[in-house]
A = this chain, B = another copy of it.
């Protein structure tokens, strides 16, 4: 299993000098969760962006990273706003892998529960899934085109 961290709200931390949240260029949030686990999980950080700032070049970088990995199961930590676009982009490549997108509505640094629950549920979901691209967020789990963010409610839901 490989976790690819692309950034997004999941990873945001507070900068006390600027007084704002930012996407750090590291994987500290995921590493904190991984400490609780004994399984062997690889972790690779790329892009480190708010998903509103991702474009198709970024998506091609993500897709290449997935395609080149030796791992059969890939978890992608991603911003929630364009998670569906990146998932569709990757799905179009029809890779012979289990690829599960997840993220968080609240930064791990502010409330670790949702981020930890989402990442862990994605990992559990991937374990028994057949090849394909999925989204697992807030307990909503399914094929990438069956799960969508409701931006007004701030929650994910089945399409």
Contact = CB atoms under 8 A, between A and B. Distances in A.
B17 A151 contact: yes
Integer count of this chain's copies in the complex: 4
Interface stretch (A60-68, A82-90, A118-126): A118-126
A36 B117 contact: yes
Contacts of A9: 19
Interface residues of A, number: 50
Interface of A: 9, 14, 16-17, 19-21, 32-33, 35-39, 41, 105-107, 109-114, 116-129, 136, 138-141, 151-157
24 contacts: A14-B21, A14-B107, A16-B106, A16-B154, A20-B21, A33-B113, A35-B113, A36-B111, A36-B113, A36-B138, A37-B138, A39-B138, A39-B139, A112-B113, A113-B116, A116-B116, A116-B117, A116-B120, A117-B119, A121-B121, A121-B123, A121-B124, A124-B141, A128-B129
